[in-house]
Amino acid sequence: MEETDELRAARGMRRKILGDAYVDAATAEPARAAVEFQDYLTATAWGVWSRGGPLSPRDRSLLVLAMTAALGRMEEFRIHAGTTPRTGVTDAEVDELLFQIAAYCGVPAGSAARRIVTDVREKREAGE
């Protein structure tokens, strides 16, 4: 993928939100197809985060949590639940969001999200 200002901004946003350790691990595979795939993910998903506009990183984070829960993408939910301290989302806001998830996405999605949030917080408090 051509190195553009937009791709550089998306890469920076991905690192800012997910952290260096996660991004380094996700992009470690040197195979050409893997590199191209990571560039695609960065340009599309993180390009949305870095585009500016009226949504703050906090707003985008809450939206991603709600959408990944609604779609049952709990692995992605877990990743983004761990980023909330870097996006400005408070634990109280996530707790409230869980009610929205349970009401609009169903109790199984809300319960799964609650379990993940509890696990993520326990690991964060343990320094993991």
**Do the beta carbons of residue 11 and residue 42 sit within 8 Å?**
yes
**Do the beta carbons of residue 36 and residue 28 sit within 8 Å?**
no
Residues 1 and 31 in one domain: yes
- The model's pTM is 0.92
Confidence of residue 128 (pLDDT cuts 50, 70, 90): confident
Among 12, 34, 52, residue at a domain's last position:
52
pLDDT at 11: 95
Residue 91 CA, chain-centre distance (Å), reads 15
Residues 47 and 58 in one domain: no
**Do the beta carbons of residue 96 and residue 104 sit within 8 Å?**
no
Residues 38 and 59 in one domain: no
Residues 77 and 87 in one domain: yes
Q: How far apart (Å, rounded) are the C-alpha atoms in residues 17 and 11?
A: 10
Confidence of residue 29 (pLDDT cuts 50, 70, 90): very high
The whole domain housing 3 covers 1-52
Residues 34 and 79 in one domain: no
Residues 38 and 67 in one domain: no
Residues 89 and 76 in one domain: yes
pLDDT tens-digit series, residues 44-73: 999 999 998 999 999 999 999 999 999 999
Q: What percent of the chain lies above the pLDDT cut of 70?
A: 100
Is the pLDDT at 1 greater than 80, yes or no? no
Q: How far apart (Å, rounded) are the C-alpha atoms in residues 17 and 12?
A: 9
Mean pLDDT of the residues in the chain: 96
**Overall number of domains in the chain:** 2
Residues 85 and 123 in one domain: yes
